[in-house]
Structures are given as C-alpha cells and as structure tokens.
Amino acid sequence: MTSLNNASAAAADAIAEEGLIGDPVPLWKQTWKRLLRKRSGQVGLIIIGLLLLIAITAPVIAPYDPNDVLIGTEHVKRREAPCVHLLGCDINRPQHIMGIDGNSRDTFSRVLYGTRVSLMIGLVTVTTALVSGVLLGAIAGFFGGIADNIIMRIMDVILGFPSLLLAIAIVAVLGPGIVNALLAISIVSMPAYARVTRASVLSVKTLDFVSATRALGGSPARILFRRVLPNALTPIVVLATLGIATAILDAAGLSFLGLGAQPPMPEWGTMLGTEKDQVFSAPHLVFFPGIAIMLTVLGFNLLGDGLRDALDPRLNT
Amino acid sequence: MSALLELRDIKKSFAFRKGILQRVVGQVNAVNNVSLTIERGRTLGLVGESGCGKSTLARIVVGLFPPTEGEILFDGLQIAGADIPIDPKFSRRIQIIFQDPYSSLDPRLPIGDSIAEGLVIHGIGDTKSRRKAVLDILALVGLPPQAADRYPHEFSGGQRQRIGIARALILEPEFLVCDEPTSALDVSVQAQILNLLKRLKGRLNLTMMFISHNLAVVRHIADDVMVMYLGHAVEVAPVNELFTTPRHPYTRALLSATPIADPDRRGERIKLIGELPSPLNPPSGCPFHPRCSYAYDRCKTELPAMITAGGSRVACHAVEAGKLPPA
C-alpha cells in the first residue's frame, strides 16, 4: 500500500500532455486525409470525380444531342465505325469518336449522357435501400426480441431469392420501366443493409460509452441515433459505396433484358441490349457502353475499399 | 449519519431464451438477495472474483437494468423495484465510472462533447456555460483545457479514465459507482486515478461504491467492504475489521491469496479446492460449501442468513455455530 501512496503523490498533478501536440483536427478531416493516402481511395475518387464532372457538363461536352437521328443532317451510315480525326480519319468526314449506333445516333454523346442515368440509378437505389435497410436493421438490433425476429425473417425471405431474379419478378409484376427497375433493385438490396446494420448495432450497443449515455439518463432515441448508429455506420458506408456499383450493374442488367430503362433513354445497359446481336459486325457499340459500366463500377469499388480503411478513427496517423 | 443508498433483497436473474417463441430454457441468478446500506460520505468496497455479480449489482444501482426482485432506496425514496429500473431523473444523482477506458468513450465525439452530454440530456445551461463547465471539470480531474476538442484515441488509458471521471462528475452526483476503474491501467497510473478519486471524494462530498478484485486497492479507498461469492453477499465489515479478522471462510481464502511483498512474511496460503461452480447450476445450500473446508451437513441444504459477528455481518453456518477457528 505504501508504494501506491508514494508513486501517486508526485505524479497525480503532473499529467503528461503526451499526444496533445498541435491543433485539434476534426474527425472528417482526419478521415479525408487517410482516404487520400490510400492508392485505392485516390484512384476511386479520381474516377468518380471525372464521372460526376461528365454527368454535370454532359450538355456542354457532348457534340450531339443523344437522341438526334443523324440521317439527313450528316453523311453517316448506321453502325458506322468510329471516326477520330487524330487517328487519321478523313478530315472531311464528321468526327464520331465512338461511332454511330443502330439508329444513326452519336454513340459518344449517348455514353456521356448515360453517365447521368447510371449515377442517378446508383444514388437513388442505394439511398432508398440504405434508409429502409438501416432503419429496419437498427430497430431489429437495438430492440431485439419479437421485432428482431419478424424483421430479420422477412429479410431472410428476400435474401433467399437470387437478387436479379427477384428484381426481374418484381419488374414483371409492376411493369417494365426505369422507376420500377429502381424500386425492384432497392428492395432486393435492402436485406444486406438490414443485416449489416443489425450486426453492427448489436456489437456497438454493448459498449460502455452506450451504457454511459444510458446512465446519464439519455432517451432510447438519443442512444440509438446519437451513440449507436454513428458508431455502427462504418461497415454500412463501405457497403453502400460498393452497393452503388452493384446497383448500377443490376440496373444495366435489367435494362439489357429490356425491363429497365426504355429506348430511347441513353442508358448503358439498354445500349448494350439493343446492339447485342451486332457484337461482331459493330463491336464499338457494345464496347464503349461496356467500358463505361466497368469504369463506374471499378471507381465505386475502389472508393469503398479506401473508405473501409479511412473510416476507422482508431487507425490514426 | 443517514443511509444514502439502501438495497433491499436485490435479486437479478437473466433468462436464456431459445427459438422463435423465445421460450425460457434456463436462467442465471447473477445477484441473489443482496441487501446493503451505504451511509452518506462513505465508500463501500465490493470484492469478489470474476462473475460473482459485482458489475451486475453496479449496473442495477445506476439504472442500466432493473432488479428482478427487491427495492432500491435512495435518500429515503424508493427509486427502483422489481422490474422497475431507476427513474432517469435520478441519473443526475447517481453516476458510474467504467472499467475499460477504451470502450467507455465514444470514439466519434470530441471528449468535451462526451463530458457535456449529461448537461445536454438534462437541459442544464446553454452552449457557453456548458463549455465553461467542461473546462472547469477538466481542470478538476487534471487535464489541460485544450483536451476538450480532442478525440478519445489521442489520449492514454489514464487520461481517458480521467475523462470518464469528468463525465460522471459534471452532473454533480451524490453517489458514484466505480466499476473496477483501475484494473485496466498500469500500476503507476492506477495510483494516480485512485488518489484523484480519493481527493474528489473529499472535495465533492461523494458517497461511493467501489468495485474491484484487487484487495489492496479496496483497502486503500474503502471504508466498508462487502465480499461477494456467486451472486451472494457473504461478508460485510468495516475495512479494518475485514482485513484483520476475516470471518467467512471465503474471505479468509481471498485474503490469504493476496501476495505480500516480503519473502520472510509469506502467510499460510489457504488453497481452495475445485472450480468456481457454474452460476447456471449453483450448488444447493451455501454456495460456497463445495469448496469450503469447514462445511458440514447443514451447509449442503440450508442457505445461511446474514448474522452479526463482532463488527462484521457474515453469512456462514460454521461461524454461527462457532465451529470456525479464530483468524
């Protein structure tokens, strides 16, 4: 006991201020810095930044209206190969760097406008699925018991179907169209968010800082939305970023089958679907929309990967 | 002196549920008929090995869950009863410090906000006055004011424990539960935190319940000690009485297991036989009888009641019958 007394008397008031050097850095800034340090985060951000830029400035950079049929206005043939002046295409011919599609439209302009559609699809579906899934998962995990059982069994049923097949079934019932396709994709991706949220909430709600807020007299709503959810969100943010990629891919798949975006909407999946029979005679018509889908999906996957590491405040510099 | 906190026959059992219908398939009695009184201004030390119900008792006292049976009186008022948790409005007066300084602070919140949360929940003051209160309490626990805008990961274990103390004390509680506040810290830091608690206790006129499995720590800080075994209180005594004349066989075994930093003064070590029984399947009669060398027939069938022996209160048939040699 004497050792306890001696050691403490001197030390008690002289607390080392170790680790408190420099100005305090807000958490989001630390996260941003960590994201920028990772290669996957950098590349993902660049790709998505470019896509956003294209989506916003599409009317400016697109040489043609995406739905303009060029027969009669220009001397072009259907499904004509790309003509790039820099690569030696005759300077007198109009430039179409991704060629002409089966309806005599400029493919490049359509791919550019397709960025808008795809990003919109990704954001809308993931937001819908995220909000509903996180809410259901949080309720299931936080309150447990019967609510947990009912919610999670419904989610299990949805998960029991192959997701694209269920989406097709839903669209078949609701009728084809971009809005119904988005709804279908939201429904099939919701259980993933519910599950991850529930698991995350279950592990966070037992931590002492949650008990501390409870002991301070905090209401259940305060505990769930201020303490538990923000700390349970890391895996969900990552999942959502990766989910945008999946949603874009699923929507392209539905459109490819003719169940999603309807012609003449410049949607990459629809573009692939309408020209799929010409893969050998006019490969540029499936190549460029395909590349666009791949780049977008890659961008979101890389960003999700980078976010996973960046979002943990404990992995500090 | 008046009793600030009184527990009457507190019992807490956790049910194991299984299947879709959530049928109860078994239960653990974490705390069994524990009664205790803590007078204003005193510190009760709670000791016992892992799983004996110390932390469960602490969490009942701060209202994290309701007792299954029994009642809690605070300052003469009944504040909790069977399946009724403590009214949140009493949270201003009863606070807790947690064991693990790494999980007791929200990693996404600057510690100033963590500390101020109690004020926000209870609607005390405005942004400016809360900030001032945070800086004052930081100074009180020995942290610099610039700490307020930092995140928990920037602090050491000892510093975090100070932050936890600041958060508990900002509501100016009368009663503080310390759930093993030093067991996750280095020895030198343990001493700092213990002395800080002792100093604050005198300064703020706190009444404390101090949980620990470290007997030296309890001896240093407590006025009275309660020893728990498998959810039962087996002995309650003033600290000196307990350490000089332990009465319950389990208390004796516990004390003899404390290492003495003197090679010539190795005490006789009482070795307990057998394992700690599973709380799922507790022994009949006295919970300690399978491991007790003084146990006789009565211990196997009848749960001993608390009796007064000298300055202590003990739950042991052998003590009652005078069958125990003096310590």
What CATH number has the domain bearing residue A260? 1.10.3720.10
Whether residue A165 lies within 8 A of chain B, CB to CB, comes out as: no
Whether B258 shows a pLDDT value over 80: the answer reads no
In angstroms, the CA A125 to CA A261 distance is: 14
Residue-wise over B111-126: b if at least 16 C-beta within 10 A, else e? bbebbbbbbbbbebee
Would residue A161 count as lying in a domain? yes
Question: Are A4 and B122 a contacting pair at CB < 8 A?
Answer: no
Question: Are B106 and A19 a contacting pair at CB < 8 A?
Answer: no
The three state secondary structure string of A106-169 is EHHHHHHHHHHHHHHHHHHHHHHHHHHHHHHHHHHHHHCHHHHHHHHHHHHHHHHCCHHHHHHH
Question: Are A209 and B105 a contacting pair at CB < 8 A?
Answer: yes
* Burial class of residue A121 in the structure, from the number of CB atoms within 10 Å of its CB (0-12 exposed, 13-18 middle, 19+ buried): buried
Whether B219 shows a pLDDT value over 60: the answer reads yes
CA distance B76 to chain A (A): 21
Q: Can the peptide bond before residue B259 be classed as cis, meaning omega within 30 degrees of 0?
A: no
**Amino acid letter at B309?**
A
Would residue A294 count as lying in a domain? yes
Whether B327 shows a pLDDT value over 80: the answer reads no
Whether A294 shows a pLDDT value over 90: the answer reads yes
Q: Which member of B98, B106, B153 has the closest CB to residue A314? A: B153
Q: Which member of B106, B147, B190 has the closest CB to residue A20? A: B147
Residue in chain B nearest A10 by alpha carbon = B192
Q: How confident is the model at residue A314 (pLDDT cuts 50, 70, 90)?
A: low
Q: Which member of B98, B108, B156 has the closest CB to residue A208? A: B98
Whether residue A150 lies within 8 A of chain B, CB to CB, comes out as: no
Mean pLDDT over B212-233 rounds to: 90
Sequence-separated (6 or more) residues with CB below 8 Å from residue B323:
B294, B296
Express each pLDDT in B62-103 by its tens digit.
Answer: 888 888 888 888 888 888 788 787 777 788 889 999 988 888
Give the model's pLDDT for residue A245: 86
Would residue A226 count as lying in a domain? yes
Question: Are A19 and B107 a contacting pair at CB < 8 A?
Answer: no
Q: Which DSSP state fits B270?
A: P
Cβ atoms < 10 Å from Cβ of A181: 29
Q: How confident is the model at residue A317 (pLDDT cuts 50, 70, 90)?
A: very low
Would residue A218 count as lying in a domain? yes
CB B48 within 8 A of CB B34: no
Would residue A13 count as lying in a domain? no
Q: Which member of B64, B153, B192 has the closest CB to residue A12? A: B192
CA A21 to chain centre: 37
Count the domains in chain A. 1
Residues in A closer than 8 angstroms to B106, CB to CB, are 209, 227, 231
Residue-wise over A70-85: b if at least 16 C-beta within 10 A, else e? beeeeebeebbebbee
Whether A9 shows a pLDDT value over 50: the answer reads no
Whether residue A172 lies within 8 A of chain B, CB to CB, comes out as: no
Q: What is the pTM of this model?
A: 0.80
For A259: left if phi > 0, alpha if psi spans -120 to 50, otherwise beta; the answer is alpha
In angstroms, the CA A303 to CA A263 distance is: 31
Whether residue A18 lies within 8 A of chain B, CB to CB, comes out as: yes
Whether residue A59 lies within 8 A of chain B, CB to CB, comes out as: no
Residues in B closer than 8 angstroms to A219, CB to CB, are 88, 121
Question: Are B121 and A222 a contacting pair at CB < 8 A?
Answer: yes
Domain, as residue range, for A178:
27-55+125-310
In angstroms, the CA B221 to CA B213 distance is: 13
Among B38, B25, B13, B26, CA closest to B201: B38
Q: How confident is the model at residue A91 (pLDDT cuts 50, 70, 90)?
A: confident
CA distance A233 to chain B (A): 11
Give the model's pLDDT for residue B96: 92
Give the model's pLDDT for residue A128: 94
- The ipTM, to two decimals, is 0.84
Give the model's pLDDT for residue A157: 93
CA B259 to chain centre: 22
Angle at A132 between CA A126 and CA A133, to 5 degrees: 80
Cβ atoms < 10 Å from Cβ of B240: 12
In angstroms, the CA A15 to CA B144 distance is: 9
Give the model's pLDDT for residue A66: 87
Beta bridge partner(s), residue B307: B314
Question: Are B190 and A4 a contacting pair at CB < 8 A?
Answer: yes
Would residue A317 count as lying in a domain? no
In angstroms, the CA A89 to CA A97 distance is: 10
CB B117 within 8 A of CB B91: no
Residue-wise over B40-74: b if at least 16 C-beta within 10 A, else e? ebbbbbbbbeeebbbbbbbbbbbbbbbbbbbbbbb
Would residue A246 count as lying in a domain? yes
Distances (CA, A) of A39 to A24, A36, A239, A293, B12: 26, 7, 19, 21, 53
Mean pLDDT over A29-47 rounds to: 88
Question: Are A216 and B95 a contacting pair at CB < 8 A?
Answer: yes
Question: Are B89 and A217 a contacting pair at CB < 8 A?
Answer: yes
Residues in A closer than 8 angstroms to B143, CB to CB, are 15
Distances (CA, A) of B10 to A215, B61, B91, B250: 19, 10, 19, 21
- Two structure tokens written together for B6: 């009184």
In angstroms, the CA B11 to CA B232 distance is: 9
Task: Provide the number of CB pairs (under 8 Å) joining chain A to chain B.
Answer: 124
Question: Are A27 and B151 a contacting pair at CB < 8 A?
Answer: yes
Whether A10 shows a pLDDT value over 70: the answer reads no
Mean pLDDT over B6-26 rounds to: 79
Distances (CA, A) of B269 to A53, B245, B257, B260: 77, 16, 6, 11
Q: Which contiguous run of DSSP H or E holds residue B234?
A: strand B232-238
Cβ atoms < 10 Å from Cβ of B17: 14
Would residue A112 count as lying in a domain? no
Question: Are B191 and A146 a contacting pair at CB < 8 A?
Answer: no
In angstroms, the CA A195 to CA A200 distance is: 9
Residue in chain B nearest A211 by alpha carbon = B64
Residues in A closer than 8 angstroms to B188, CB to CB, are 7-8, 11
**What is the rounded average pLDDT for all residues in chain A?**
85
Distances (CA, A) of B191 to A294, B135, B163, B181: 60, 24, 16, 11
Question: Are B95 and A215 a contacting pair at CB < 8 A?
Answer: yes
Percentages of chain A per state (helix, strand, coil), in multiples of 5: 70, 0, 30
